[in-house]
């Protein structure tokens, strides 16, 4: 029986950086499949065994989802080669203090907010302020991912705003909370969480007293996160690790 590799390759021969944890895990799993669990198949078709991670690539999350930012980066780097060689992004460091770059970067974010605001209005009829903080949580609906906790926090924020005086409300940063995801059709608790989210959104979005200080956008599909992830100001990480299955 073969053994697992004792050394791991660098991510880049030039940078000399060690691979990220998910890459290390991918290499270990790939080695286990090749040398132990599926060794016979590996000996027959070694070219078919290729490990892939769930990492984020610049091709998907900048070039495809954020064309405005893609054009901006290419302009300041003077090349589009960074699309295939992400290490070239280090060239932006020399422009870190450039006021023109900062202004253009802000404009890109504003354009992206406009794209999302138009999508939200077309999908749900809710008008959102471009000056608001966009608080985004889009992932599979599950108890351990704590969408329920997020909705309860939105209810608390709504209650606080309702009990504020006008002078206090002037200090509140407007917020657009976006909750989206998918769930298994037989997952009863997830259905109740979704129903609660819709009920809370109906209440908040139709309260003229609160106005643009708080909006709750529900029903954003997972595929639509290509619009939301590129401009979110806040992305809460409040989920827990999946619960371990009890051994029978």
Rounded distance between C-alpha atoms, residue 137 and residue 140, angstroms: 10
CB atoms within 10 A of CB 208: 5
> Does residue 156 have a pLDDT over 90?
yes
Reported as a single tens digit per residue, the pLDDT across 138-147 is 888 888 888 8
- Please give the average per-residue pLDDT across 121-136, as a whole number: 90
In this prediction, residue 10 carries a pLDDT of 43
Answer with the residue of higher pLDDT: 236 or 24: 236
- Please give the average per-residue pLDDT across 69-87, as a whole number: 92
Provide CB contacts within 8 A for 58, sequence distance 6+.
82, 83, 86, 89
pTM for the model stands at: 0.69
Long-range contacts of the stretch 44-50 (C-beta < 8 A, 24+): none
In this prediction, residue 138 carries a pLDDT of 84
> Does residue 12 have a pLDDT over 80?
no
User: pLDDT band for position 31 (50/70/90)?
Assistant: confident
Secondary structure of 207-242 as H, E, C letters: CCCCHHHEEEEEEECHHHHHHHCCCCCECCCCCCCC
- Please give the average per-residue pLDDT across 117-127, as a whole number: 89
Reported as a single tens digit per residue, the pLDDT across 157-209 is 999 999 999 899 999 999 999 988 888 889 999 999 999 999 999 999 999 99
């Amino acid at each position: 029986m073969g053994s697992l590799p004792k050394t791991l390759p660098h991510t880049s021969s030039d940078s000399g950086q060690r691979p990220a944890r998910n890459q290390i895990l991918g290499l270990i799993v790939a080695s286990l499949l090749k040398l132990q669990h599926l060794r016979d198949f590996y000996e027959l078709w070694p070219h078919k065994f290729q490990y892939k991670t769930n990492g984020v690539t610049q091709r998907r999350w900048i070039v495809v989802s954020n064309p405005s930012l893609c054009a901006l980066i290419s302009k300041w780097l003077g090349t589009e080669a960074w699309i295939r060689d992400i290490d070239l992004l280090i060239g932006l460091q020399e422009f870190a203090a450039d006021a023109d770059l900062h202004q253009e970067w802000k404009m890109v974010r504003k354009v992206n907010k406009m794209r999302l605001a138009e999508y939200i209005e077309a999908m749900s009829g809710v008008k959102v302020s471009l000056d608001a903080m966009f608080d985004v949580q889009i992932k599979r609906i599950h108890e351990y991912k704590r969408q329920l906790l997020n909705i309860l926090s939105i209810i608390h924020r709504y209650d606080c705003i309702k009990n504020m005086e006008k002078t206090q409300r002037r200090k509140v940063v407007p917020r657009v909370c976006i909750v989206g995801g998918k769930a298994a059709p037989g997952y009863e608790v997830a259905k109740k969480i979704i129903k609660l989210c819709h009920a809370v959104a109906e209440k908040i979005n139709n309260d003229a007293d609160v106005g643009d200080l708080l909006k709750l956008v529900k029903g954003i599909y997972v595929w639509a996160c290509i619009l939301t992830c590129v401009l979110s100001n806040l992305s809460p990480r409040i989920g827990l690790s999946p619960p371990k299955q009890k051994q029978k």
